[in-house]
Structure 1
Amino acid sequence: MVSSCPFLSDAQFDLLLANGLQSRAQTDFDPPPVVKLFTPDAGATWLLSEIDPEDHDIAFGLCDLGLGLRELGCVSLSELARLRGMLDLTIEQDLHFQAGKRLSACAKEARMAGRIQA
């Protein structure tokens, strides 16, 4: 499968999709995040762990829009691609991100700290 997202490599897209398929087969599936995205000028962060196998525009992960709420949920990749921050900058990928824990642990840590700390 090939990604059309400007901020995901083909390998990341494939892993996100594989996680989405695994999540459908195993209800307690809790993978580590695959990618960390952020707005360099708006304080928003996303840790994505999977893509919906039936709708490749929908990703699942931990989302923090910089408004004091961190939650697990779905996000549209095409909307993220169109999103611009205060200085009109696009979303970037943290190229140094290494997932050290499962997504649920990242979410718990983010709730306690008040922000995503990955």
Structure 2
Amino acid sequence: MILLPPDLREKLLANGADRGSDHVPLLKLFNPCGAATWLASELYEDGDTLFGLADLGFGCPEMGVFSLTEIARIRLPYGLRIERDWYFTARFGLTVYADAARIAGRITEAEALLSTAARTRQLRIPRNPEIPRNPHG
């Protein structure tokens, strides 16, 4: 199976060229035998490095970069490989999926949890630029 068809590659590359935005994930990869799931919203110029949300099934999903080549090389029992979810359609930006994943301990598509994470994110008060940032976090 082709994990990243040309049309999707172009969309992810366009998002990768505009890294300042909270892009909607366009690609969902998953382990059909386990809990590992990846949501990708950007592809870097090298054509291999994806940016998104990765959940390897240990209860601590993280945003970051991962290699398409490495994911494609994974061999699973019964001759299976990592698959692309052909029916995945994101409704929110990647940060909403990350917020919901932190609450659930895994990447989730639960509508109620994603909607709550989206509302919470919308209600956050922007930082006042007149107040200096804390250099220690």
With the length of structure 1 as denominator, give the TM-score of the two structures.
0.86
Q: Which residue of 2 aligns with 1:66?
A: 57
- Tell whether the 8 Å contact from 1:52 to 1:58 is kept in structure 2 after alignment: yes
**Partner letter of residue 27 of structure 2?**
V
Identity %: 45
Over alpha carbons, which structure has the higher Rg?
Answer: 2
Q: Which residue of 1 aligns with 2:12?
A: 16
SS in 1 for 2:106: coil
Return the alpha-carbon distance in structure 2 between the equivalents of residues 100 and 85 of structure 1: 30
SS in 1 for 2:66: strand
Q: Which residue of 2 aligns with 1:95?
A: 86
Return the alpha-carbon distance in structure 2 between the equivalents of residues 100 and 40 of structure 1: 23
Q: Which residue of 2 aligns with 1:30?
A: 22
Deviation at 1:109, TM superposition (A): 0.4
Q: Does 1:46 align with 2:38?
A: yes
- Tell whether the 8 Å contact from 1:41 to 1:87 is kept in structure 2 after alignment: no
Return the alpha-carbon distance in structure 1 between the equivalents of residues 79 and 54 of structure 2: 20
Return the alpha-carbon distance in structure 2 between the equivalents of residues 93 and 117 of structure 1: 16
With the length of structure 2 as denominator, give the TM-score of the two structures.
0.75
> Alpha carbon RMSD of aligned pairs, Å?
1.4
Q: Which residue of 2 aligns with 1:77?
A: 68
Return the alpha-carbon distance in structure 2 between the equivalents of residues 89 and 49 of structure 1: 25
- Tell whether the 8 Å contact from 1:63 to 1:71 is kept in structure 2 after alignment: yes
What are structure 2's unaligned runs of at least 5 residues? 110-137
Higher helix share: 2
Return the alpha-carbon distance in structure 1 between the equivalents of residues 83 and 93 of structure 2: 22
Kindly provide the CA deviation profile for residues 39-68 of structure 1, in whole angstroms up to 9, marking residues without a partner as x. Answer: 101210000000112x21111000000111
More relative contact order in 1 or in 2 (CA 8 Å, sep 6+)?
A: 1
Deviation at 1:22, TM superposition (A): 1.0
Q: Does 1:110 align with 2:93?
A: no
